[in-house]
């Protein structure tokens, strides 16, 4: 039976174009080697792999049975990546094909590379489809909501194994180019099925790859080939536009470069982009302003819960120049009346989350003003989701959330289902730990609806989406009221 499973995996490689007919025996023998198998007894008939996850599961069960690996998710992920590596072309082949296609069309090149990244199981399609996704109507338009289930939660055995694993500084982080082809370990994922496309950004060598968790269509990561820290400055804006010019069908943005308002990896310079129009990109501007010396650039405040200036023009050099003026002004800006402080005790607080895109014959640069100051009342951040929203989201508002896509924790799948059951049953939400945290939230909207078994799930999800909108409002340094807009315009006037 195991030979038949090997045959199905090879058939998958042939069907997806990962390998050619001439590679069949070679690939089979590589898989047999990984499985420590000396014999091959599959039948001679035609074979089709109808379900990659099921085929890999058969091979993983064999590996566990033969004690080649442990029976935990991390060990299995390391091993099935090794199995898939037998089907993946060498980097030079992938890069060569990508560049050939790019000469025809950047879109053809990214279509090929995105499909490859899924076919190799670097992007695990069968996990991505498990993510919960819905939309929520708000005053700012439709927001995208997702509960992330594609990133597996480690079980206790895997956590213990990772803790006891030998520490290594290779690769230095999850974004380093040295991850390509790396076997992984209990505290670092395997990347033998991963391929990176080298591109030139601002005169330097950068890497282009897709996120294995694809929170949105063609979610890509663009990263410096050198392990250098995140930094938002004039050159960052230029780098964003360099990428957009290479791939005009993609947007690209950067997390901020300070804790709380920044991303999870501040030690390695990188951007995120993709072939997707986020809710913030769809939002229009409330009002436009003229900045002296930049009359050729349209500047507007975006109708968005966070504080966003949208620059638009045909000349990216001019957009970069004005972006730099705004960034420098914001870094140094203090307005005590609006509780904006550039620094306290020498610690800087102001930075920007920038996003670049091409729209028609013009380029846009969205500058989201950020501040990471904390207080005793708000130890996680004044401009961060406040404690009353933590039942839904307490994590940082990073680039993806800034643009209107909530990446909510996996715990909510179970917790929101339990909330729905409690609402229908009339049971006490305070009775269990999973639902007690949601009791006050549910009480705030429960009387507004006539709940049924058919509508409760949609209502609860919609209310969760509204909480995310509030999270974005909390993260906005200027609130969307008369006082907030006036304070925002006060800053803009310093630029004129």
Least confident of 37-46, 265-274, 312-321: 37-46
Supply the pLDDT for residue 153. Answer: 58
Supply the pLDDT for residue 215. Answer: 95
> DSSP string spanning 87-139?
TSPPHHHHHHHHHHHHHH-HHHHHHHHHHHHHHTTSS-HHHHTTSEEEEEEET
Span 92-102, pLDDT tens digits: 999 999 999 99
Supply the pLDDT for residue 301. Answer: 98
In 130-184, which residue ranges form alpha helices assigned H by DSSP?
156-164
Span 175-228, pLDDT tens digits: 999 999 999 999 999 999 999 999 999 999 999 999 999 999 999 999 999 999
**Contact in structure between 141 and 281 (CB atoms under 8 Å):** no
Q: How confident is the model at residue 166 (pLDDT cuts 50, 70, 90)?
A: low
Average pLDDT over residues 326-332: 98
Supply the pLDDT for residue 164. Answer: 59
> DSSP string spanning 404-426?
TEEEE-THHHHHHHHHHHHHHHT
* Secondary structure of residue 391 in the 3-state scheme: coil
Supply the pLDDT for residue 152. Answer: 63
Query: For a pLDDT cut of 70, what percent of the chain falls above it?
Result: 97
| CA angle in degrees (0–180, nearest 5) for 204-319-352 | 80
Q: How confident is the model at residue 165 (pLDDT cuts 50, 70, 90)?
A: low
What's the mean per-residue pLDDT of the chain?
A: 95
* Secondary structure of residue 470 in the 3-state scheme: helix
Close Cβ partners of 292 (under 8 Å, ≥ 6 residues apart): 495, 496
Token pair for 448: 């507004």
Query: How are beta strands 347-348 and 350-359 bridged, if at all?
Result: unpaired
Could you give the CA distance from residue 333 to residue 309 in angstroms, rounded to a whole number?
16
Q: How confident is the model at residue 45 (pLDDT cuts 50, 70, 90)?
A: confident
Span 450-495, pLDDT tens digits: 999 999 999 999 999 999 999 999 999 999 999 999 999 999 999 9
Average pLDDT over residues 2-11: 97
Average pLDDT over residues 288-295: 97
Supply the pLDDT for residue 265. Answer: 85
Query: How are beta strands 204-210 and 343-344 bridged, if at all?
Result: unpaired
Beta bridge partners of 271: 222
Could you give the CA distance from residue 310 to residue 355 in angstroms, rounded to a whole number?
9
Supply the pLDDT for residue 151. Answer: 73
Token pair for 179: 């991850």
Look at 46 and 241; give whichever has higher pLDDT: 241
Is the predicted pLDDT of residue 50 greater than 80, yes or no? Answer: yes
């Amino acid at each position: 039976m195991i030979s038949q499973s090997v045959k199905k995996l090879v058939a998958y490689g042939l069907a997806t174009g990962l390998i050619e007919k001439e590679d069949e025996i070679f690939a089979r023998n590589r898989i047999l080697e990984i499985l420590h198998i000396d014999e091959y007894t599959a039948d001679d008939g035609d074979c089709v792999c109808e379900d990659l996850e099921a085929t890999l599961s058969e091979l993983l069960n064999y590996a566990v049975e033969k004690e080649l690996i442990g029976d935990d998710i991390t060990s299995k992920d390391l091993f099935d990546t090794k199995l898939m590596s037998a089907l993946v072309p060498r980097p030079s082949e992938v890069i060569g094909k990508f560049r050939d296609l790019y000469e025809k069309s950047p879109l053809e090149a990214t279509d090929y590379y995105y499909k490859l990244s899924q076919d190799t199981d670097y992007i695990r399609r069968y996990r991505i489809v498990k993510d919960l996704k819905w939309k929520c109507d708000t005053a700012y338009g439709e927001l995208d909501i997702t509960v992330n289930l594609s990133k597996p939660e480690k079980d206790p055995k895997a956590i213990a194994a990772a803790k006891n694993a030998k520490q290594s500084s290779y690769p230095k982080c999850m974004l380093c180019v040295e991850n390509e082809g790396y076997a992984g370990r209990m505290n670092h994922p395997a990347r033998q099925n991963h391929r990176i496309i080298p591109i030139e950004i601002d005169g330097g060598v950068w890497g282009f790859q897709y996120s294995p968790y694809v929170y949105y269509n063609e979610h890509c990561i663009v990263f410096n080939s050198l392990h250098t820290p995140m930094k938002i400055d004039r050159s960052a804006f230029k780098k964003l536009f360099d990428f957009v010019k290479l791939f005009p069908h993609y947007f690209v943005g950067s997390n901020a470069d300070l804790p709380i308002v920044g991303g999870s990896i501040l030690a390695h310079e990188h951007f995120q982009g993709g072939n997707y129009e986020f809710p913030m990109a769809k939002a229009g501007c409330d009002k436009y302003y003229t900045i002296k010396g930049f009359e050729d650039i349209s500047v507007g405040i975006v109708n968005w819960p966070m504080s966003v200036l949208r620059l638009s023009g045909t000349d990216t050099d001019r957009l970069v120049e004005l972006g730099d003026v705004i960034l420098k002004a914001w870094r140094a800006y203090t307005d005590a009346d609006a509780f904006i402080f550039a620094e306290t005790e020498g610690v800087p607080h102001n930075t920007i989350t920038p996003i670049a895109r091409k729209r028609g014959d013009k380029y846009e640069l969205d500058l989201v003003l950020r501040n990471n100051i904390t207080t005793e009342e708000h130890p996680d951040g004044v401009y961060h989701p406040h404690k009353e929203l933590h039942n839904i989201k307490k994590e940082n508002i990073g680039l993806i959330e800034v643009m209107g896509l909530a990446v909510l924790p996996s715990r909510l799948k179970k917790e929101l289902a339990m909330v729905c059951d409690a609402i229908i049953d009339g049971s006490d939400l305070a009775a269990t730990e999973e639902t007690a945290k949601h009791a006050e939230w549910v009480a705030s909207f429960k009387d507004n609806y006539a709940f049924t078994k058919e509508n409760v799930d949609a209502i609860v999800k919609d209310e969760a989406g509204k909480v995310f909108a509030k999270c974005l409002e909390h993260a906005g340094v200027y609130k969307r009221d008369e006082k907030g807009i006036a304070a925002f315009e006060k800053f803009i006037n310093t630029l004129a």
